């Protein structure tokens, strides 16, 4: 797996942090292997739910002295903007909580057990939120 996120910053001189959570179409092979959609349907879904070119739109933030945090996976792997706790996340009802089990058309995307979901949360969600929290705290001091 590639690093789930990257931070781009130079000398921070302005208190701006931009996070780019949905610009990637990257799905690690070990995650993609568990998806139930065929390749055409998966590509169609990626086109529908990816916020294309947002990374390019905001790439100048680091050059101007701000911080850019980029999530390197598709939200189909894990959506870092969802609540970690399914009981707090309204989109769980549509199969689109922090870990999607359905696509935007309601088709079954994957089966995932609690252990697999916890592994994704531990390896991707938690470190991503930890680094954003750290960067924001530094901006506020």
pLDDT tens digits, 75-97: 999 999 999 999 999 999 999 99
Give the domain range for residue 49.
5-136
Edge-to-edge strand list for the sheet holding 5-9: 5-9, 67-71, 17-20
Domains held by the chain: number: 1
- Token pair of 103, please? 């696509």
Contact between residue 70 and residue 23 where contact means Cβ atoms under 8 Å apart = yes
Nearest CA-CA partner of 10 in 58, 56, 68, 55: 68
Q: Is residue 141 part of a domain?
A: no
Percent of the chain topping pLDDT 90:
96
pLDDT band, very low/low/confident/very high, at 1 (cuts 50, 70, 90): low
pLDDT bin (cut points 50, 70, 90) of residue 137 is very high
**To the nearest whole number, what is the mean pLDDT of the chain?**
95
Domain of residue 70, CATH code: 3.40.630.40
């Amino acid at each position: 797996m590639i690093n789930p996120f990257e931070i781009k910053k130079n000398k921070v001189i302005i208190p701006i942090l931009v996070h780019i959570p949905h610009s990637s179409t990257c799905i690690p092979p070990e995650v993609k292997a568990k998806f139930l959609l065929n390749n055409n349907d998966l590509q169609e879904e990626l086109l529908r739910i990816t916020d294309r070119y947002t990374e390019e739109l905001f790439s100048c933030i680091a050059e101007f002295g701000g911080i850019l945090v980029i999530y390197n996976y598709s939200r189909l792997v894990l959506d870092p903007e969802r609540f970690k706790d399914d009981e707090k996340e309204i989109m769980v009802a549509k199969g689109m909580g922090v870990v999607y089990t359905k696509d935007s058309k309601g088709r079954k995307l994957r089966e995932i057990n609690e252990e697999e979901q916890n592994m994704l949360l531990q390896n991707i969600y938690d470190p991503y939120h930890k680094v954003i929290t750290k960067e924001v705290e530094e901006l506020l001091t």
